[in-house]
A and B are shown apart, each in its own frame.
Chain A
């Protein structure tokens, strides 16, 4: 049973780490703000989601599990808001030019 849990954890966390890596590469390589944001938010939300998913089987109690999920939800909320704001600023900067 614990072996199965460990396998799930390793698989999901590795997948999450891959998405983080992809997001970071996108952040560094993409040409402008909007595409960079795209790479960052898509990859980070998914990446963090997978990491949280992978850690859930390791959580000792329901409370710890809920804390993990709420971390993911809060990051989703913050990430979505901030990327909206950044995107709007970037677009305003472009139209001003």
Chain B
């Protein structure tokens, strides 16, 4: 078993872990962490595929590396936006639940629009 394969399997498991956490963790912050785990698995997969494509005295195909760097920036901004939303929600309601519980047309307040 070669290095890329080990890390490829590691990436696949990280994706599975992230998905599981995203589904079952009720706390939104935990969902955000799980999303980051999932994302890091996807990025790792890019790295493994790039490592398989090592050629011309470059140890890792530079194109997937560039894609990952772009992707990491996007994932970080997504995390920041999600956390800002979450903190504002907590500030307003004192709760961080995401489940709507009741259907929206019952829970709507009179000022809703």
Asked whether any CB of A lies within 8 Å of a CB of B in the complex, the reply is no
Binding site for A on B (CB under 8 A): none
